Chains A and B, each alone.
Chain A
Amino acid sequence: MDGHALTPHAGDHGDAHAGHHEIEIPYTVHPRPDTGVYNGKLGIWLFLASEVMLFGALFSTLVLLRTSAPSWPHGKEILNVPLATVNTFVLIGSSVTVILAWAYLRLGDLKKGKLFLLLTLLCGFGFLGIKTIEYTTKFSHHQFPSTNNFFATYYVMTGLHGLHVIGGMIVFAYLLLTADKWYGTKRDQFTNRVEVTGLYWHFVDLVWIFLFPILYLL
């Protein structure tokens, strides 16, 4: 008697481990009817909720330090607004490319999907490149985190955001490298992973959408 015949599974049957029986976790790929989501999507939204609280603490820091300070410089007088504006377009652009990648993967177009994933990755590099220029210019003017709290908050907030950009880029690189292998055998699961990474990436974009005016323009 095969007890596993009654195991509910809605996941793909990958070729994965010949001879080694792996536990099948339900709803890895297809959504559970009553919750309406598949596991990874719920997982990433929960993670994003925690990230809201992480950046929230930094915004809280900024609010307190800025409102209680006797004086606080204006971002637009010290920081490079044109460069940051370009960066804003770059990041928004990368948000569009990643969702286009996902759309094309769902259409069955692996080539376009990979192209847009690559574009997303390149936008990420662009963003980091501009950030590097910003930082190194400031360092050369002896403007460090220790200089004052304006710079401390600027560096920590954009720095943590930058780390998140790097994290996303690593995942995109991984997806690009494994796309050919996965798309053949586990198409839906791969497409879901792109969706989930895309959600993360949109959040990174969202944080910047708030960081840009708050740090640079006000």
Chain B
Amino acid sequence: MRARDAQRVLEEAIRVSEEEGRDEGHHVSFLRQYVFSTDHKWIGIQYAVTALTFLLLGFSMMLLMRYQLAWPGQPFHPWIAKFLGAANAPGGIMLPEFYNQLGAMHGTVMVFLAIVPLAVGAFGNYVVPLQIGAPDMAFPKLNMMSYWVYLPGGLLMMTGFFMPGGAANSGWTSYPPLSVIATRGQTIWILGMVLLITSSLLGSINFIVTIFQLRAKGLSFMRMPFFVWAQLVTSFLLLLAFPPLEAAAILQLMDRVAGTSFFMPSGLVVSGTPLANAGGGNPLLWQHLFWFLAHPEVYVLILPGMGIISEVIANNTRKPLWGYRSLVGSGIFLGFMSFVVWAHHMFMTGMGTVISAFFQTTTMIISIPSVIILTALLISLWGGSIRFTVPMMFALAFLPMFGIGGLTGLPLGLAASDIHLHDTYYVIGHFHYVVAPGTIFAMFAGIYYWFPKATGRNMNEFWGKVHFWASLIFINGVFFPMFIQGLAGVSRRLYDGGAQYAHAKPVLHTNVFITTSAFLLMASQIPFIINFFYSIRKGKRVQANHWHATTLEWAATTSPPLGHGNFVVMPTVYRGPYEYSVPGHDESDYLPQNVPDDVHTPQPGGGMLAAAAVAQKES
């Protein structure tokens, strides 16, 4: 079978498939095709656009807060003051109540509306079926519903800002009794969470069933790309950890609207007036139920990112990942352990020594799989032919950044040191390092990496590198000083940034530095946003497997047509996911998963030519 013939066969197949698509295109209404699509690729794009918008929104909320922290009591620019309105910032000066709303909503938006929908809803949906060689997700209609419950949930959350009393303002953690007596926005928060949790539940079921049931022929579990493993573990976390928060949300809703006392202890007095409820409840119960989810949630935040980084590193070192089995085992162990560490968020709530010791132990243990994963990725660089593409730069930066984030978690996981650091800016620095230069950098890597897959064009490399360097510098400028502030004892969630405390004086000036970095960080995203939209239409056209990658998604056509499955020829898998620089295979430095062993063709079209050749042979 000659390469030329195989090429012709393939092009004919694509032409037929696209014609079918066009012919039948007018049978599917615009609504069915683009609004209520059941195609995982389009749903992934819907998630991406929505999540990135929320990311921008959450970032903007933080910039408002940072302005107040750097220049407490200073008015905003008149346009911003007008936009915020007199209820939130009379005379352009932010009210403490509004600061609290921004704080609570920044966390909520970033965690539940931006990062997880992007990491799981967008990347997971778009890439996983392609990487396992499936025509779509197992339950396409359920997939569509997941998105259409997420979007209303997110919008509902945002309406809180327009309620009397404003949005939720008791922290993203919504601790009672404060959250129970808080303004109406908190009820909106609860209802929004119920919708988001439902969306997440539907999605996680879909992912797990898809990965178990729809893997292509030959794709055993140990041949799956690590990205798919990461999504599988993540989905189990979402499946089993979210329901307790859903229950807790119902209980808090009951406390707020039905006057129950699940979380309300007796004898509470608010503004001089004793509360009229029965009492006897337990605020710590909320904390347990909340953190039972929220701890696995942070692994939901990081695992897909680790998956993306793994793909990018393998591809750009042109060698297999080191320690694939360790990565998989660590990922699974991490997922399991994440369910038994939650109370390390509660060391300061009056825990007895036995329970405290239990959670400190499990927390120390859980650091091990994280370190194994990071180490395996690091060692994977050794001896590689590193290509410094834009995705790779983000991936490389991820490693030390996540390292800092992870290491700074250790003193928080030990109760003795946590006494000094709990609820300080040290904590904020710690978790932002893992999520911001950690996960968000992984998201950027993923966007630059899979952009050619989705659009057939590459994003501009120069501006990508500008985006990278500027983001890296300024993101460190934002979060590193927070460790210093925290160690000095500056508490979090303070409207004045610590100005009222004498012990905070020596580090107060860092607020200006942090805020300036934050604004510059926002400015650094402008080239990215422009690059992204410009490149969709005008980016440099590239071939289907632009990065010369081995995994199955690159064997599909570029931007596979909607509603018609993903592969012209359903792939069969013959080897593991990272067969780069295979000894003895001299035609190219990569061997795609779906190319049979006895076909030796040059690889510019990826595995499609070879696969088509096999198909022709077999038909």
Residues of A within 8 A of B (CB): 1-8, 19-27, 32, 35, 37, 39, 42-43, 46-47, 49-51, 53-58, 60-61, 64-65, 68-69, 144-149, 152, 156, 160
Q: List 18 A-B contacts (CB under 8 A).
A: A6-B619, A23-B565, A25-B135, A27-B138, A27-B213, A42-B208, A46-B204, A46-B208, A50-B204, A50-B240, A57-B247, A60-B289, A69-B280, A145-B259, A145-B260, A146-B277, A146-B278, A149-B281
Let me know if B17 and A3 touch, CB within 8 A: yes
- Cα A62 to Cα B229 in complex, Å, equals 36
| Chain B residue contacts of A61, Cβ below 8 A | 247, 251, 262, 285, 289
- Cα A20 to Cα B38 in complex, Å, equals 14
Let me know if B569 and A42 touch, CB within 8 A: no
Let me know if A152 and B12 touch, CB within 8 A: no
At the interface, yes or no: B136 with Cβ under 8 Å from chain A?
Answer: yes
Let me know if B569 and A19 touch, CB within 8 A: no
Among B20-28, B314-322, B403-411, B436-444, which stretch is in contact with chain A? B20-28
A153 to chain B minimum Cβ distance, whole angstroms, is 8
- Cα A139 to Cα B250 in complex, Å, equals 21
| Chain A residue contacts of B242, Cβ below 8 A | 50
A181 to chain B minimum Cβ distance, whole angstroms, is 18
Let me know if B262 and A39 touch, CB within 8 A: no
| Chain B residue contacts of A147, Cβ below 8 A | 278
Known: A8-B217, A57-B243, A61-B285. A160 touches B250 (CB 8 A): yes
A51 to chain B minimum Cβ distance, whole angstroms, is 7
Give the residue name and chain of the A residue nearest to B12 (CB): A1
Let me know if A54 and B246 touch, CB within 8 A: yes
Known: A43-B138, A50-B201, A156-B254. A68 touches B282 (CB 8 A): yes
Let me know if B241 and A53 touch, CB within 8 A: yes
Let me know if A3 and B244 touch, CB within 8 A: no
A188 to chain B minimum Cβ distance, whole angstroms, is 16
- Cα A23 to Cα B139 in complex, Å, equals 11
Majority-rule SS of B interface residues: helix
| Chain B residue contacts of A39, Cβ below 8 A | 138-139, 209, 213
Let me know if A65 and B280 touch, CB within 8 A: yes
| Chain B residue contacts of A1, Cβ below 8 A | 9, 12-13, 16, 619
- Cα A21 to Cα B22 in complex, Å, equals 12
Let me know if A43 and B619 touch, CB within 8 A: no
B23 to chain A minimum Cβ distance, whole angstroms, is 9
Give the residue name and chain of the B residue nearest to A147 (CB): B278
Contact of A148 among B9, B204, B214, B278 (CB under 8 A): B278
User: 15 extra interchain contacts, Cβ-Cβ under 8 A, other than A3-B568, A8-B217, A68-B282?
Assistant: A1-B16, A7-B135, A8-B570, A23-B135, A50-B204, A51-B243, A53-B241, A53-B243, A56-B244, A57-B244, A58-B247, A65-B262, A145-B254, A146-B278, A160-B247
| Chain B residue contacts of A56, Cβ below 8 A | 243-244
B250 to chain A minimum Cβ distance, whole angstroms, is 7
- Cα A43 to Cα B254 in complex, Å, equals 30
Let me know if B260 and A152 touch, CB within 8 A: yes
Contact of A25 among B136, B250, B278 (CB under 8 A): B136
| Chain A residue contacts of B72, Cβ below 8 A | none
Let me know if B205 and A46 touch, CB within 8 A: yes
At the interface, yes or no: B258 with Cβ under 8 Å from chain A?
Answer: yes
Listed from nearest, the 7 A-B pairs whose CB atoms lie closest are A146-B259, A57-B247, A54-B243, A57-B244, A53-B243, A152-B260, A3-B568
Known: A25-B135, A25-B138, A65-B262. A53 touches B280 (CB 8 A): no
Let me know if B569 and A26 touch, CB within 8 A: no
Let me know if B261 and A4 touch, CB within 8 A: no
Let me know if A65 and B285 touch, CB within 8 A: yes
Contact of A20 among B27, B208, B619 (CB under 8 A): B27
A65 to chain B minimum Cβ distance, whole angstroms, is 7
Give the residue name and chain of the A residue nearest to B616 (CB): A1
At the interface, yes or no: B140 with Cβ under 8 Å from chain A?
Answer: yes
- Cα A84 to Cα B139 in complex, Å, equals 38
Contact of A23 among B12, B136, B243, B261 (CB under 8 A): B136
| Chain A residue contacts of B247, Cβ below 8 A | 54-55, 57-58, 61, 160
| Chain A residue contacts of B400, Cβ below 8 A | none
B234 to chain A minimum Cβ distance, whole angstroms, is 14
- Cα A203 to Cα B156 in complex, Å, equals 32
| Chain B residue contacts of A58, Cβ below 8 A | 247
